[in-house]
Amino acid sequence: MPQDYRVPHLTTALTGPLLELEEHLLNHSHAIEAWFRQEFRDTPAPFYASVDLRNAGYKLAPVDTNLFPAGFNNLHPDLRPLAVQAAQHAITQACPVTDGVLIIPENHTRNSFYLENLYTLKEIIESAGYEVRIGSINPEITEAQIIDLPSANRLVLEPLARESNRVGVAGFFPCAVLLNNDLSAGRPAILEGIEQVLMPPLDLGWSSRYKTHHFQHYATVAKRLAELVDIDPWLITPESVQCGEVDFKNPASLERLATKVNEVLAKTGDYYHEHDIDCKPFVIVKSDSGTYGMAIMSVQSADDILKLNRKQRNKMSFAKEGLAVDKMLVQEGVYTFETVDNAVAEPVVYMIHNHVIGGFYRIHTGKTATDNLNSPGMHFEPMSFQQSGVLPDQSQGPDAEPNRFYAYGVIARLALLAAAYEIKYSKTAKPD
């Protein structure tokens, strides 16, 4: 690669180890790219995704894969052309003849962060050469609503309508429909059985999807990548155990959860001990479906579970939009050792189609390395990646920024591939 970098680049948050893993990925980048290309040819990627990573230095792993990403407005504008190009190809693949895309957003009409994201997403798809309109399933939207954004841009939300087997807004019922609503509130009847191409499919909404399935697929593809690059799959895989239904108000149910927590702690502790990793194992307990970090906690022992107070138990019983939590996922906690200005930082990587199109650091000054950073009331400071994460620079060391971002892009795409398998099997399970 040319050495002629004329612009200054941000340094990555972490300047510590992860060397061995990054070096492996760098040395095998051509093989990795060929493998991804072939995998996504057989198992097409979802339209988009964002993946939260944790970088412990000795381990780099995904902890959350969002198939309805918001936050596109946090990506660095210099990388926008990558998103535009990828969107054109994703839409062409899904629906070659369409000239329009209908976006179905979340129901937040007063969250200006979300609406700025929606505006950016609309702009990306318009720049790719499509007409875009926004059809809301929010029952409060009964006529076209014009929203002036803090960025001085303007967004129009229209009520979603159904005409026989198609959904749309007044006079606009295109072949391609893009969901930017994670369906935490359930599968909307208006979207059932439509003949248009829904991206991603209804089955991938949180009302139907389980994180444990995602991490099962992830473990499978991570194992195959690990074989390809000759590393221990543990280095890129978070131990994830489905706990089944947990009733936080029932002591017997909590006992069962505590047992699972102990299992994961013990397994992680054994690995740490065997490999001289001087860290205390911890575990993340979170809802197996849903997002937004409502029902999530970080625990270092089974006692943390058994000694939950009433308030904590209540918190764990309700996830986003008031859904009762049913199943829980017990996941190995991965430390995040990246910091920016002494604050803990977690990389978030964005993808459209099978391409990394940018990312940012979620930074929180009040949190520690074991905390979940996507927690309620969190005011993160997005720090855009200046580079795309697409290309390693073989002429620099593994810790150089393009190389660290390359490693992030590899692990994020591995989670994307796991999501592609989720779609594949959801379709196989329910052919229609």
What are the residues binding its own copies (CB under 8 A)?
1-8, 10, 29-30, 33-38, 41, 73, 76-82, 84-86, 88-89, 92, 96, 99, 120, 123, 126-131, 151, 355, 384, 386-388, 390-391
Q: How far is the CB of 116 from its own copies (least distance, A)?
A: 9
The two three-digit tokens of residue 182, written as one number: 């994670």
Closer to its own copies at the Cβ: 24 or 353?
Answer: 353
β 240-245/296-299 pair status: unpaired
d(CA 335, CA 231): 20
Six token digits for residue 290: 């849903």
Using alpha carbons, select from 262, 258, 373, 254 the residue that is nearest to residue 313.
254
Nearest distance from residue 330's CB to its own copies, in Å? 36
Nearer to its own copies, 92 or 339 (CB): 92
- Asked if 211 and 326 count as a contact pair (C-beta separation under 8 A), the reply is no
Side chain identity, residue 90: A
Name the minimum Å distance from CB 176 to its own copies. Answer: 13
Name which of 88 and 287 has its Cβ closer to its own copies. 88
In degrees, rounded to 5, the angle at the alpha carbon of residue 61 between the alpha carbons of residues 201 and 271 is 135
DSSP states of 129-159: T-EEEEEE--TT--S-EEEE-TTS-EEEEEE
Nearer to its own copies among residue 125 and residue 316 (C-beta): 125
Choose between 60 and 87: whose C-beta lies nearer to its own copies: 87
Q: Beta strand pairing status for 197-199 and 176-180?
A: parallel
Instruction: For the CB of residue 356, give the shortest distance to its own copies in the complex, in Å.
Output: 8
CB of 370 to its own copies, least distance (A): 31
Q: Which is nearer to its own copies, 122 or 367 (CB)?
A: 122
Closest separation between CB of residue 260 and its own copies, Å?
39
Between 74 and 372, CB nearer to its own copies: 74
On whether the CB atoms of residues 161 and 167 are closer than 8 A, the answer is yes
When the beta carbons of 214 and 355 are compared against its own copies, the nearer one is 355
- Nearest in space to 384 (alpha carbons), one of 12, 1, 35: 12
Cα–Cα distance list, 328 to 161, 254, 309 (Å): 36, 11, 18
CB of 165 to its own copies, least distance (A): 25
| Nearest-approach distance from CB 148 to its own copies, in angstroms | 15
Cβ neighbours of 148 (radius 10 Å): 11
Residue 384's SS3 state is strand
To its own copies, the closest distance from the beta carbon of 72 in angstroms equals: 10
Please say which residue, 4 or 276, places its beta carbon nearer to its own copies: 4
* Strand 283-287 to 296-299 pairing: antiparallel
Taking the least distance from each CB to its own copies, the nearer of 120 and 196 is: 120
H helix or E strand, kind and range, residue 126 = helix 112-127
Smallest gap from Cβ 35 to its own copies, in A, equals: 8
The answer to whether the beta carbons of residues 214 and 65 sit under 8 Å apart is yes
φ, ψ at 309 (rounded to 5°)? -85, 175
Q: Are 188 and 137 in contact (CB under 8 A)?
A: yes
